[in-house]
């Protein structure tokens, strides 16, 4: 009988509101999927640019230029590591 009690609470306005919320969430999922696609394309583009730059340093035997290029990105790498550590700590802590 518990199921009948719960079913009775779903009057038409409640059902319509829930359908509307579901449609909004589906739209949000679609928007986020689009963003993921853009982010993946940007990552691929940056990866390929990095390969090209590394290849050019190798061909020119520019070891100093290669080392300077790597050093210039150390702040970015540190920020990514910090963000990853914070995310892992949050997930392991059961937050979010």
Q: pLDDT at position 76, please?
A: 80
Q: What is the pLDDT of residue 96?
A: 44
pLDDT digits (tens, 9 = 90+) for 22-75: 999 999 999 888 888 888 888 888 888 888 888 888 888 888 988 888 888 888
| DSSP secondary structure, 31-73, as one string | HHHHHHHHHHHHHHHHHHHHHHHHHHHHHTT-HHHHHHHHHHT
Count of positions (residues) in the chain: 96
Maximum distance among all alpha carbons in the chain? 79
pLDDT the model gives residue 27: 93
Q: 3 vs 6, 8, 9, 17, CA distance in Å?
A: 5, 9, 10, 20
* Model confidence, pTM: 0.45
- Provide the 8-state DSSP code for 9: T
């Amino acid at each position: 009988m518990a199921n009948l009690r719960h079913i009775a609470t779903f009057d038409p306005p409640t059902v319509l509101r829930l359908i509307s919320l579901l449609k909004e969430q589906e739209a949000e999922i679609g928007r986020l999927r689009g963003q993921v696609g853009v982010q993946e394309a940007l990552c691929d583009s940056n990866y390929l640019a990095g390969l090209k730059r590394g290849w050019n340093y190798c061909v020119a035997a520019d070891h100093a230029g290669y080392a300077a290029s790597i050093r210039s990105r150390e702040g970015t790498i540190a920020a990514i590591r910090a963000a990853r550590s914070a995310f892992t700590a949050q997930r392991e802590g059961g937050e979010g």
